[in-house]
Amino acid sequence: MAQGEVDTKKCGSALVSSLATGLKPRYHFAALEKTYYERLPYRNHIVLQENTQHATRFIALANVGNPEKKKYLYAFSIVPMKLMDAAELVKQPPDVTENPYRKLGKEISIGKQIPAPEEESACQFFFDLNERQGRKRSSTGRERKSPHPKQPRKPPQPPGPCWFCLASPEVEKHLVVNVGTHSVVELSAEVVEEVEKYKATLRRFFKSRGKRCILFERNYKSHHLQLQVIPVPLSRCATDDIKDAFITQAQEQQIELLEIPEHSDIKQIAQPGAAYFYVELDTGEKLFHRIKKNFPLQFGREVLASEAILNIPDKSDWRQCQISKEEEETLARRFRKDFEPFDFTLDD
């Protein structure tokens, strides 16, 4: 169907839209506009935030015997849900898209067609998706504005002494080998770009020394973004071994560690303030766990220090890694010198 054949702003049913959102049918057939259209299947859950559910296929059919000879028959075979294996039922098609009704929200005015505002066009398959949401109305039907404008939420502040703030008296500055231009309070585009530069540079640096670079982040019980970078000698194991170690130990601890697309951004998956654990392998493969309740604080260290990877299980506890300040200063100077040829901050 050509996109211009149906004006989705003026036709459709808010009631059917609401029903489709709530019922989540496997197949949704429509004939309201007397034309044929089949969209890509869409998912009925929010990835990594809700349990995986079956996909829905939306198919619109033309009227029987129409002079344009548009398709009005659709042959398909469907197995009842109760006869299907659960894993097969929720298997997502490779071309699945996001749910087109997501913007409907929980409050939809049934039976009314609201003109679409210019800045929010609703090109959403014959249904009105432009109901205004979340605002109270007076008995006259007019919107009431709150007398107290909502103030922007301030970023959370550390409750006490911090080992990672450069301005803190507790920070061990002799261990700092490089300082970027931007500080991380909220990840602006400039900060993201700088972090990616550091990641790419560290990968090149460790590769030149016969090591692969594994990164992980635990955004849980922490007031800072702490991106841990661990070099693993190429001779120790393959990347697949590291990936398997993370997944196996996660399963043993009943942690749902999912593989996410390499091109995906954490901002697309985790909402602001959400707790999560994240791994990035040297191949670009990514693993993600959304923390809902409790999470082992040393999980990343435990996996990499295990016999399958670095074989230093006693180092999984940072308290077992303490050395004298003199030794720390020596190691920091050595790293700073070795890293200098790769240091992009010296180019400015």
Q: What is the 3-state secondary structure of 153-178?
A: CCCCCCCCCCCCCCCCCCCCHHHCCC
pTM recorded for the entire structure: 0.52
Q: Is the pLDDT of residue 126 over 60?
A: no
- How far is the C-alpha of 132 from the C-alpha of 22, rounded, in Å? 19
Question: Tell me: the pLDDT tens digits for 40-90?
Answer: 899 888 876 677 889 999 998 999 989 988 888 888 888 888 888 888 888
Question: Tell me: the pLDDT tens digits for 255-293?
Answer: 999 988 887 777 777 777 788 999 999 998 999 999 988
Classify 228 as helix, strand or coil. strand
Percent of residues in the chain assigned helix, strand, coil, to nearest 5: 30, 15, 60
DSSP run (H or E) holding 27: strand 27-30
State the average pLDDT over residues 230-254: 93
Q: How many CA atoms lie within 13 A of 280 on its CB side?
A: 19
Tokens at 91, concatenated: 């298997």
pLDDT given for residue 72 in this prediction: 86
Sign of CA dihedral 108, 114, 118, 123: positive
Q: Is the pLDDT of residue 122 over 50?
A: no
As to burial, measured by CB atoms within 10 angstroms (0-12 exposed, 13-18 middle, 19+ buried), residue 242 is buried
